[in-house]
Structure formats: C-alpha cells, structure tokens
Amino acid sequence: MNLNKVQLIGRLGKKPEVNYIKPDVPVARFSLATTETYKNKEGERVDTTEWHNIVAWRNNAKFAESYLDKGMLVYIEGKLQTRKWDAQDGTTKYTTEIVTDQIKILEKRSDSIQQPKYPDQPTETEKPKISQPVADNDPFDPIDEALKSDIDDDLPF
C-alpha cells in the first residue's frame, strides 16, 4: 500500500499568483509558512519556520485567487510532488511542491469582521435574546408535575 498525503496549517506568504495554461485551466502558486515553537536547553522560546510551495489547480486555483490573501491562516491538504527541469546554465534543478486537494480558510478576513461567518448565521444585532428560566411555580411551566419525578432518574446518559 502507498500513501502520499500532506496536511498543513499555516499562513500565506503572499497572495496567490494565478496563470491560465488553457482558457479553462487555471493554476495558482503561493507559499505557506508553518512555524514550530519549542524551548531550547536554556529554556528560551525558539520559533522555527518552514516555507512550503503550494500549487492549486482548476477550482482550487479559482478559490485561491478569489479568497486567499497574504497572512491568512489556512488548512491545506494535498500530495507531495517533485518536479525536475534543466536550467539555462545546464544544471538539473528540482523543486518539491504540495499539490492541493483541499483549501480551507481558518479565520475571518480583517475587513469582514462584522459579517456573519456563514450566510445564514445572524449578526450580533440580529441574534435572539435568551429568555429567562421558568420559575418553579410558574403556571405556564411546560413540564407537568407528574413528569417531574421521572426527570431525576439514575440513567447514565
């Protein structure tokens, strides 16, 4: 069995650059930074940043072009791919890239803080008020007195 899968969470180093290799086939390229934090022997905090080259095709490229911007926190899922080519000076060059299957934005854009995260989600001003709990002697209490004894049973769930 073989598996070639990469999952990364990091910040975009720049806005994706999109080129069309055919009129209906876009390809987006951008860099993603992942940072590991640890304490060294002296107890000092050390940050190590790794830069990854990301390639997105077709719909993922259109998504990247429309929604991604420098500094955004994103989740990338894809596979490793190494390309080889001959440079103008005659040397052979290699590069390893992550070809995306999925791109997910993990934080709001700074210019859309007031907008709902999802289209159907109400904004803060539209959210319904939470009603106060019903008093024990309220005649409109929806729980019948005969049923209250069943509420305090010893069920494990």
Helices and strands (DSSP H and E) totals, the chain: 2, 6
Q: Is the pLDDT of residue 27 over 80?
A: yes
Q: Would you place residue 13 in the very low, low, confident or very high pLDDT band (cuts 50, 70, 90)?
A: very high
Please report, for the chain, the start and end positions of each structural domain, with discontinuous segments joined by +: 6-137
Average pLDDT of the chain?
A: 80
Amino acid code (one letter) for 57: W
Q: Is the pLDDT of residue 136 over 90?
A: no
pLDDT digits (tens, 9 = 90+) for 49-104: 999 999 999 999 999 999 999 999 999 999 999 999 999 999 999 999 999 999 99
Altogether, the residues listed in the chain come to a count of 157
The CATH superfamily assigned to 6-137 is: Nucleic acid-binding proteins (2.40.50.140)
Assigned token pair, 109: 């854009």
Residue 109: predicted pLDDT: 67
Assigned token pair, 127: 């959210």
Residue 124: predicted pLDDT: 46
pTM exceeds 0.85, yes or no? no
Distance CA 30, CA 12 (A): 7
